[in-house]
Structure 1
C-alpha cells in the first residue's frame, strides 16, 4: 500500500512538472507573435523597456516574498546584476526585438534554439572543465552547420533587411548566452529571482536611455486594443507568469533539463506565427533547427544523461 502511495506521489509530481514545462513552452513561445503584433504600433526598444519596467517590479516583489536574500551586498551580486542588466535585457531583448522587426516572429522564435548551443560554447571557452573533447567538437560542428542553414539568405538578396534582422538576433543570442555564463561564474549570494529582478530593472532603464538615442519617440506609439493586449500578454503571461513557473521548476529539476524548453517553444512560435500572420519558414531554416538541436544534444549528451539519471534515482528514493 505504501509503495502505491509513494508511486502515485511520484507520478503526480512528474505529471505536474510536465504540465508546467509545456505551459512554459507555450508562454515563452507565444511571446514572439505578441512582439510581432506590438511592433506595428510601438518601437522595439520601447516595447522591451515597458515590458521589463513592469516585470522587474513584479519579480522584485516575488523575490521579497519567496526568498530571504534579495538585496545585493557583494561584488559577485553586482557583477551578476550588471551582466544580466546589460547582456540579458538590452542585448538579449532590445536588440532581438529590433532584429525581429526586420524579419518574422516564426524565424525569430526558431533562432531562440541558438541559446542553449551558444551557452554551451561560452561555457566551453570560459569554464576549464568544459574544454574540448572529440565529442564536443563534433557537437559544435553539427550545431554551427545548423546555424549557417538558419542564416543563409535563400532567395533573398544578401544584404536584405531579413538578413540584417537575422544577424541582429544572432548577435543578441551570443550576448545573452555570454551573460548566462558570466552570471553563473559571478558567485552571487542573492537569489536567482532577485538577480533577475534587479537585472530587468537596470536593463529597462538602459533601454529608456537608448530608445530616443536611436530615434524612437513616444509619438511613434499608437495606443489601441492590439498593442495593449500584446504588451499586456508579454508582461503578465510571457514574462511574469512564465518566470514564476520557471523558478518553480528550477527548484525541483536541473537547469539543463529545464533549459531544453528552448527546443520546444520555437515549435509553438512557428505554429502561432502561421495561424496569426500566415508566416512560413524556408526548409533550410527548419533543417538548421534540427542540426542545432542535434549538435547541442551531442555536446551535452553526458550532462543530460547524468541529470536524467539523477532525476530518476531521486524519483525512486
Structure 2
C-alpha cells in the first residue's frame, strides 16, 4: 500500500468510525444506562488499545515526567471521560445528527481555551469570525425557537457541555506538553476515563441489573468499544502522525455527515432542511478557522507567479507556510 493510499484509508476509516459512534450510542441506549454504557465502552477500548500499544510501542510506555502525568489525566478525565459521559447522557434527548453537529463545536471552541491557556495561540479576527459562524450554524441545527430548544429535555445543553469538556481537554493536553506518543497517552487515559464513568454511574444510581444483554446491545458495545474506540483512535492518531493536525482534523468535517446519514438509514431519524442548512453553516465556520493555518498572502503570491502573464522569468514560488492549528480531538 502506497503512502497516499494508506493516508486516504486512515482518513476514511476515522471519519466513518467516529461518525458511527453517534448512531451506535443512540441505538445502544435502549439497552444500557448511559453512564454505564460509556464506562463499558472504555473498559473494552482500554483492553484493545493497551494490547496494541504494548505490541507497537515497546520501551516507550512509561510516563516519566510531570507533563506525561498531566497529559494522561487531561486525556482520561476530560477529553475521553467527561466528554463521552456527557455525550451519552445527552443523546438520550437528541438525534444522532443533532448530537454530532452540536459536538462539532469542539474544534471551534478550542481556540477560546487556547487563547487563555496557551500564550502562543490567540484567536485572530478571522478565527473570531469562524467561531461566530459556527455558533450560528449550531443555532440553526438546534432550532432558534426557545420552545423547540428546550423540547426533549436538556439534551442539547448537555451535548454542548460535552463539546466544551472536549475542547478544554485538548488544550490542557497541549499545555501539559507530554513526551508520550498520543496513542500511548490515550491507552493510559482510557482506564482513567473508565474509572471516572463507573464512579459517575454508581453515584447516579445506575445498576448492571438494568442492562439488557441482547445481541443488539453487544453489537452496539462492540462497535463503540473496539471500532469507534480502539481502531478509530489508531487510525486517527496514525493520520495525525502522518499528515499533521491540520489535515487530520478534516476528519471532523465529515463526522456529522456520517452520523446524519447513519441515523437516517439505520434508526429512521428525520433529516430536515434546517439541519442541512445548519450543518453547512457549521462547515463554513470550520473552513474559516481552518484557513488560519494557511498563509493566504503567500498562496496568492505563489499563484500569481505561476500565471503566464507577467510570470516569465520569475523565480519559483516560495513554499506555502503551514502551522499547526488548535485541535478538536485528543491528539499530540
Q: Per the shorter chain, which TM-score range?
A: 0.7 to 0.9
Whether 1:53 aligns to 2:43 is yes
Q: CA deviation at 1:82?
A: 1.2
What is the match of residue 102 of structure 1?
93
Q: Does the CA-based 8 Å contact 1:55-1:236 persist in structure 2?
A: yes
Secondary structure of the corresponding residue to residue 251 of structure 1: helix
| RMSD of aligned residue pairs (Cα, Å) | 2.3
What is the match of residue 125 of structure 2?
134
What is the match of residue 315 of structure 1?
none
Whole-angstrom CA distance in 1 between matches of 2:131 and 2:101: 18
Whole-angstrom CA distance in 2 between matches of 1:113 and 1:99: 14
Whole-angstrom CA distance in 2 between matches of 1:181 and 1:66: 26
User: Alpha carbons of 1:297 and 1:126: their partners in 2 closer, same or farther (altered >3 Å)?
Assistant: farther
Whole-angstrom CA distance in 2 between matches of 1:242 and 1:207: 20
Whole-angstrom CA distance in 1 between matches of 2:48 and 2:295: 35
The superposition leaves residues 252-294 of structure 1 with CA deviations (integer Å, 9 ceiling, x where unpaired) of 1111211111110211111110011111234333322222222
User: Alpha carbons of 1:40 and 1:60: their partners in 2 closer, same or farther (altered >3 Å)?
Assistant: same
Q: Does the CA-based 8 Å contact 1:117-1:292 persist in structure 2?
A: no
Q: CA deviation at 1:113?
A: 1.9
The superposition leaves residues 67-95 of structure 1 with CA deviations (integer Å, 9 ceiling, x where unpaired) of 23211222111111111121122321011
Whole-angstrom CA distance in 2 between matches of 1:119 and 1:158: 24
What is the match of residue 254 of structure 1?
244
Whole-angstrom CA distance in 2 between matches of 1:272 and 1:304: 33
Whole-angstrom CA distance in 2 between matches of 1:158 and 1:139: 23
Give the alignment's TM-score, normalised by structure 1: 0.87
Whether 1:223 aligns to 2:217 is no
User: Alpha carbons of 1:56 and 1:23: their partners in 2 closer, same or farther (altered >3 Å)?
Assistant: same
Q: Does the CA-based 8 Å contact 2:98-2:142 persist in structure 1?
A: no
What is the match of residue 309 of structure 2?
none
Q: Does the CA-based 8 Å contact 2:24-2:220 persist in structure 1?
A: yes
Secondary structure of the corresponding residue to residue 129 of structure 1: coil
What is the match of residue 143 of structure 2?
152
Whether 1:113 aligns to 2:104 is yes
Q: CA deviation at 1:222?
A: 0.5
What is the match of residue 124 of structure 1?
115
Whether 1:35 aligns to 2:18 is no
Secondary structure of the corresponding residue to residue 161 of structure 1: coil
Whether 1:89 aligns to 2:83 is no
Q: CA deviation at 1:110?
A: 2.2
Runs of 4+ more than 4 Å apart: 153-158, 308-311
Q: Does the CA-based 8 Å contact 1:69-1:189 persist in structure 2?
A: no
Whole-angstrom CA distance in 2 between matches of 1:223 and 1:140: 42
Q: Does the CA-based 8 Å contact 2:104-2:163 persist in structure 1?
A: no
Which is further off, 198-207 or 126-135? 126-135
Whole-angstrom CA distance in 2 between matches of 1:111 and 1:61: 33
What is the match of residue 272 of structure 1?
262
Q: CA deviation at 1:228?
A: 0.6
Secondary structure of the corresponding residue to residue 72 of structure 1: coil
Q: Does the CA-based 8 Å contact 2:103-2:160 persist in structure 1?
A: no
